[in-house]
C-alpha cells in the first residue's frame, strides 16, 4: 500500500499533534485527512507553516495542562453514584464500565471526559465505593471515587422489623400501668419503711387459774334440804 508523508495541522489521537510529520496511507490522506482539514501534503510551501503550528500546539498543550490540573483537584472531591440492579443476595447483575462512569460524570457533574482517560482495569462487579484512577493528561493523574448502590430494596428479617403502632401503644400502656403501681406502693410506705413486717412479740406463759380454789367446798346439806327435813 502506497504511503505519503503529511503535516498534521490538528491533534489526532493515536496519530500525532500539530506540526508532526507522519506517514499514512495515500488513500487515507486523500479521502479523509485532507478533506477534513486535519493535514496537508508535505511541500516546500507547507513546511513554512510548521513553526506556526508548533507555536499553536504549545499553547494548546499548556491550556490543556492547566485545565486538567484544575479538573483533577475538583474530581478528587467528588463521589460519582451509580445505580445497579442486584439479586436478593446482593450480587450485581452485570458490571460498571468506563463508559458508564463517563456518562455519570456528564449527568451528575456536567464533566465531559473521554472514557479512555478512565483507567479501569476491570469492570466493577461489586457494590460499595471504589477508587478509579484517571489519566487526564500525559502529566496529570487523578482518582475518582465511585459508589455503586443497589436499586433492589432491602427486606429486613422478621425479627429485626420494628413493632407496629398497635404493639408500641400496648407497650406504652403496660409501662404506664407499671409506673402507677410503683408510685402507689411508694406512697403507702412510710418514710424509712423497708417494706418488711415487724416481728411479733413473744407471748408470756399464762399463770395457772385459781378460780376453782377460790370456790369453797360444800360442807353438809344445802339450805333447801334442811327445810324439807323440818317439814317432814
Query: Domain map of the chain by residue range?
Result: 3-48, 72-150
In angstroms, the CA 111 to CA 85 distance is 25
Pair 74, 141: CB distance under 8 Å: no
- What's the CA gap between 15 and 7, in Å, rounded? 11
Q: What is the pLDDT of residue 174?
A: 58
Domain 3-48 CATH superfamily: Ribosomal protein L9, N-terminal domain (3.40.5.10)
At 35, give phi and psi (nearest 5°): -65, -35
The most distant pair of C-alpha atoms in the chain lies apart, rounded to whole Å, by 194
pLDDT at 161: 52
231 contact partners, CB below 8 Å, separation of at least 6: none
* pTM exceeds 0.85 for this model: no
pLDDT at residue number 221: 47
Per-block average pLDDT, block size 10, for the chain (232 residues)? 88 87 92 92 87 88 92 93 88 91 94 92 92 92 94 61 57 58 52 56 58 47 52 51
Cβ atoms of 22 and 45 within 8 Å: the answer is no
CATH no. of 72-150:
3.10.430.100
Amino acid at each position: 500500500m502506497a504511503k505519503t508523508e503529511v503535516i498534521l495541522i490538528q491533534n489526532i489521537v493515536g496519530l500525532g499533534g500539530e506540526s508532526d510529520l507522519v506517514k499514512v496511507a495515500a488513500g487515507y490522506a486523500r479521502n479523509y485527512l485532507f478533506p477534513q482539514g486535519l493535514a496537508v501534503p508535505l511541500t516546500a510551501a507547507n513546511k513554512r507553516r510548521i513553526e506556526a503550528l508548533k507555536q499553536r500546539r504549545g499553547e494548546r498543550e499548556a491550556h490543556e495542562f492547566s485545565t486538567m490540573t484544575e479538573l483533577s483537584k475538583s474530581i478528587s472531591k467528588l463521589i460519582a453514584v451509580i445505580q445497579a440492579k442486584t439479586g436478593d443476595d446482593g450480587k450485581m447483575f452485570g458490571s460498571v464500565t468506563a463508559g458508564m462512569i463517563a456518562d455519570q460524570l456528564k449527568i451528575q457533574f456536567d464533566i465531559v471526559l473521554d472514557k479512555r482517560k478512565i483507567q479501569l482495569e476491570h469492570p466493577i462487579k461489586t457494590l460499595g465505593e471504589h477508587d478509579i484512577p484517571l489519566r487526564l493528561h500525559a502529566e496529570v493523574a487523578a482518582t475518582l471515587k465511585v459508589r455503586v448502590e443497589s436499586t433492589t430494596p432491602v427486606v429486613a428479617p422478621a425479627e429485626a422489623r420494628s413493632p407496629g403502632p398497635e404493639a408500641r401503644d400496648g407497650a406504652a400502656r403496660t409501662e404506664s400501668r407499671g409506673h402507677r403501681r410503683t408510685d402507689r406502693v411508694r406512697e403507702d410506705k412510710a418514710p424509712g419503711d423497708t417494706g418488711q413486717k415487724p416481728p411479733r412479740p413473744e407471748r408470756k406463759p399464762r399463770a395457772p387459774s385459781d378460780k376453782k380454789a377460790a370456790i369453797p367446798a360444800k360442807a353438809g346439806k344445802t339450805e333447801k334440804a334442811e327445810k324439807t327435813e323440818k317439814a317432814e
